[in-house]
């Protein structure tokens, strides 16, 4: 096993995208919890769930940022892929900064079990940036094909296995 699999993931199974999916899920839950709180659908539980989701999202975002930075550093500078990946990185760093600010400024809301308008607006801004960053991340994979092996005839057992096959290793070296 190559040491780089620890931060890149094995061929066809990159580590960065699942971490981003988890962070997106946390931040989406935070936005929904904030909405239920400010609309009165939930009582204190909306504010509590909102803040805890932000904190867990921030922790996961830190891991996603590290693995994303390693992937970004491997891209040839100045290429269309690099420009898209750089835009994605900037959007996601802005997203994380807004959600960090929201969690810090909204801690009192969490303690009192009631979101203020300011916390809700910051959450909405963060969610908008998250949507932009996720869109750009999707372009990296689905438009530019980064880390996509395209082994359409690969047996399902081999495709699902965390242990890379020789075909996967060869396909990754080509892409």
pLDDT, tens digit, for every residue of 94-151?
A: 999 999 999 999 999 888 888 999 999 999 999 999 999 999 999 999 999 888 888 8
Q: Is residue 172 part of a domain?
A: yes
Backbone angles phi, psi at 117, to 5 degrees: -60, -40
Q: Is residue 173 part of a domain?
A: yes
Residue numbers of the domain that contains 135: 13-144
Band (pLDDT 50/70/90 cuts) for residue 159 is confident
Statement to judge: residues 43 and 83 lie in one domain:
yes
**Beta-carbon contacts of residue 171 (< 8 Å; ≥ 6 apart):** 11, 12, 149, 150, 151
Statement to judge: residues 68 and 106 lie in one domain:
yes
Q: Is residue 73 part of a domain?
A: yes
Q: Is residue 2 part of a domain?
A: no
Segment (H or E) for 17? helix 16-38
pLDDT score recorded for residue 1: 60
pTM, two decimal places: 0.89
For residue 166, is pLDDT > 60? yes
pLDDT score recorded for residue 174: 53
For residue 14, is pLDDT > 70? yes
pLDDT score recorded for residue 19: 96
As for how many domains the chain has, the answer is 2
């Amino acid at each position: 096993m190559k040491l780089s699999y620890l931060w890149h993931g094995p061929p066809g199974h990159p580590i960065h995208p699942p971490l981003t999916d988890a962070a997106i899920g946390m931040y989406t839950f935070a936005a929904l919890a904030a909405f239920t709180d400010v609309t009165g659908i939930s009582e204190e539980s909306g504010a509590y769930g909102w803040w805890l989701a932000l904190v867990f999202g921030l922790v996961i975002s830190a891991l996603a940022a590290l693995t994303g930075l390693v992937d970004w550093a491997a891209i040839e500078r100045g290429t269309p892929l690099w420009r898209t990946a750089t835009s994605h990185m900037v959007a996601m760093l802005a997203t994380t900064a807004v959600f960090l600010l929201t969690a810090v400024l909204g801690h009192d809301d969490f303690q009192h079990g009631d979101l203020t308008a300011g916390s809700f607006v910051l959450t909405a801004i963060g969610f908008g940036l998250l949507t932009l960053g996720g869109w750009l991340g999707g372009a990296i994979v689905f438009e530019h094909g980064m880390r996509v092996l395209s082994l359409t005839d690969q047996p399902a057992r081999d495709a699902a296995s965390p242990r890379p096959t020789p075909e996967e290793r060869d396909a990754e070296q080509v892409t």
